[in-house]
Amino acid sequence: MLQIMLFKFSHNHNFPKLLVGDWLIVITSFVLVIFMFQQFWSFEHASKLKIRQGNQIIGIFDLNQMRELHINGPMGESIIVINHGMVRFKQSPCHNQYCVHQGWLSHAGQVAICLPNQISLQLMGGKNIYDSLNY
């Protein structure tokens, strides 16, 4: 009885079969999505770090080093760690700690911002993905 009900249920829907043109659209769309993903998504590793405090650039640092930076902002001191191609906020005086929870950044174009303390980290590679960073 259950098999008969399932058979009737599966055949009650009269969906038209996909034609050649339908398959052409599906395949073209799939190829286009893959191409756009590869073209516009950056996997380039960063080589430089730009640190801003407010509207001033504090400095541009090479990522191929191990270093701890102490940057003072309006709320207090933020600690930034550079570790052989990666960077992160280690500590910040802000309440929510979103910048610290952002974790390690390593790809060009990635950004971590501590809005309350007005400090931003921007990773740069061979080509800039974004024109500018504003907040």
pTM beyond 0.95: the answer is no
Per residue of the chain (135 residues), what is the pLDDT tens digit? 445 444 555 555 666 787 888 899 999 999 999 988 877 776 778 889 999 998 899 999 999 999 999 999 999 999 999 999 999 999 999 999 999 999 999 988 889 999 999 999 999 986 655 555 444
Q: Does 48-124 carry CATH code 2.60.320.10? A: yes
- Amino acid residing at 18: L
Give the strand pairing for 56-62 and 48-53.
antiparallel
Domain ranges of the chain: 2-40, 48-124
- Give DSSP secondary structure letters for 59-119: EEEESSSEEEEEEE-SS-EEEEEEESS-EEEEE-S-SS-HHHHT--B-BTT-EEEETTTTE
Q: How far apart are CA 124 and CA 62, in angstroms?
A: 10
